[in-house]
Amino acid sequence: MAVVRDELGLTKAEIGNTIIASVAITVLARLLIGWLCDRIGPRIAYTGLLILGSLPVMMIGLSNSYESFLLFRLAIGVIGASFVITQYHTSVMFAPNVVGTANATTAGWGNMGGGVTQMIMPLIFAAFVGLGFVNASAWRWAMVVPGIALFIMGIIYYKFTQDTPEGNIKDLRKNNPDYQMKKKESKKSFLVAVKDYRVWGLFLIYAACFGVELTINNIAAIYYIDYFHLDLKTAGLIAGLFGLMNIFARSLGGMFGDRFGIKFGLKGRVYFLFVILLLEGIMLIVFSQMSVLPLAIFTMILFSLSVQMSEGATFSVVPFVNKKAIGSISGIVGAGGNAGAVAAGFLMKSDTLTYPQALFILGWVVVGISFVAFAIKFSEADEKETKKEMDASLEANLTTQPAVVPISK
């Protein structure tokens, strides 16, 4: 973005608009893709999204003005709906005692791509410069590389995955009356999700964690360039650390959510979500006040841990809200993350606020939203049903463990 800013002569407000555009369109895309997963399954939905999404990624190099760059960023933002498909897929594939960990790990490694991108793309850009391309064309050719990767992964996903443990939804609906009934229910799934106040509570909570992560991913490199006077590669490397923590941080959030769920039931998952989200807000406030580079990096890493654990904890709760509308609920909650990024984007683009001031305000907003977790409640019937499923899952897990045979001397 630092190179693109100079090449296209973008102002701070215009950069803010491109960031808002890229995450705003994802709100709509996530709402649609969640409903689509309930209808056609994750395999076909993911394949289509990856292959079609690869086109604007490769073609953004054709941008020659702020307006054309904005339009391509808008199209690229649709790819963010992939998160919902991932969460749907892992939710139907994994048992209740590990579903939080599974959701968090797949999503975390997806977000880790944001961190890796911060590190790798400047190197790809530098490689094109080394081949003799000038800066103005090097960034354009560099964007072809992730576009090709997306296209290839679309083909791989189609060939090597299936919709459910039992098989693909299309085949199951032909032979299984239960799945034919689920097809009818899927038409109403979005309305069921919209009417549940808990879904909108989780929408706000996810806005306060994933929305904040998206915001940091979009400004981190420029933040370190402008406020700590680092070069592009160094700033990209440090900014990449934020996303790279997803290699384990989001998984930890899901894992702790599962552990609290096993011990304290569904309310245990919610209480852990409150604590880690509150910690995220506090760490963001602290990070915004750092002016010494080593301290800024250290607090950013602590903040990164808490924000990503909050995301994992959120989606350790989502699969239990309503199992007949997992796709639609995942879509609405996932859209909350991007809605949060849109709101934060308007804060970041303000000419009257510096980035540190905007982050300070954002931190207090997160602290406030953390208390929304107490509004997410489950009935006694929900608790009993989940405990029954949990006990059955844990028992099945024990029976599949290999027996320990003592070795005689």
Is 392 inside a domain boundary? no
pLDDT at 184: 58
DSSP string across 318-355: GGGT-GGGHHHHHHHHHHHHHHHHHHHHHHHT-TTS-H
* Residues 299/359, Cβ–Cβ less than 8 Å: no
Is 298 inside a domain boundary? yes
Domain that holds residue 6: 2-378
Q: What is the pLDDT of residues 100-145, one digit of tens each?
A: 888 888 888 887 777 778 778 888 989 999 998 888 888 889 999 9
Helix 326-348 and helix 355-370: axis angle, to 10°?
150
Is 399 inside a domain boundary? no
For 167, list phi and psi in degrees, rounded to 5: 140, -170
Report the distance separating Cα 324 and Cα 191, nearest Å. Answer: 11
Structure tokens at 244: 């790279």
276 pLDDT above the threshold of 90: yes
Is 338 inside a domain boundary? yes
192 pLDDT above the threshold of 90: no
Structure tokens at 136: 């103005």
Structure tokens at 249: 């941080």
pLDDT at 406: 46
Q: What is the pLDDT of residues 4-51, one digit of tens each?
A: 888 888 887 888 888 788 878 888 888 888 888 888 889 999 999 999
CA distances 20 to 273, 341, 388, Å, are 27, 7, 44
Helix and strand element counts for the chain (H, E)? 19, 0
408 pLDDT above the threshold of 50: no
Helix 232-244 and helix 293-314: axis angle, to 10°?
30
Higher pLDDT: 295 or 243? It is 295
pLDDT at 185: 60
Task: Name the pLDDT band for 397 (thresholds 50, 70, 90).
Answer: low
Report the percentage of the chain scoring pLDDT > 90. Answer: 33
Is 33 inside a domain boundary? yes
Sequence-distant (≥ 6) Cβ neighbours of residue 377 within 8 angstroms: 198, 267, 270
Report the distance separating Cα 43 and Cα 89, nearest Å. Answer: 8
Task: Name the pLDDT band for 187 (thresholds 50, 70, 90).
Answer: low
Question: In a 10 Å sphere around its CB, with 0-12 CB exposed, 13-18 middle and 19+ buried, how is residue 409 labelled?
Answer: exposed
**Structural domains of the chain, count:** 1
Is 405 inside a domain boundary? no
Sequence-distant (≥ 6) Cβ neighbours of residue 38 within 8 angstroms: 186, 189, 190, 325, 326, 327, 328
407 pLDDT above the threshold of 70: no
pLDDT at 182: 61
202 pLDDT above the threshold of 90: yes
328 pLDDT above the threshold of 50: yes
Is 406 inside a domain boundary? no
CB neighbour burial string for 311-332, b if at least 16 within 10 angstroms, e if fewer: bbbbbbbbbbbbeebbbbbbbb
Supply the mean pLDDT for the chain. 86
- Prediction pTM value: 0.77
Calculate mean pLDDT across residues 228-256: 85
Is 145 inside a domain boundary? yes
Report the percentage of the chain scoring pLDDT > 70. Answer: 94
Task: Name the pLDDT band for 404 (thresholds 50, 70, 90).
Answer: very low
Calculate mean pLDDT across residues 169-183: 70
Domain containing residue 347: CATH number: 1.20.1250.20
Torsion of CA 248, 160, 320, 260, to 10 degrees: -30
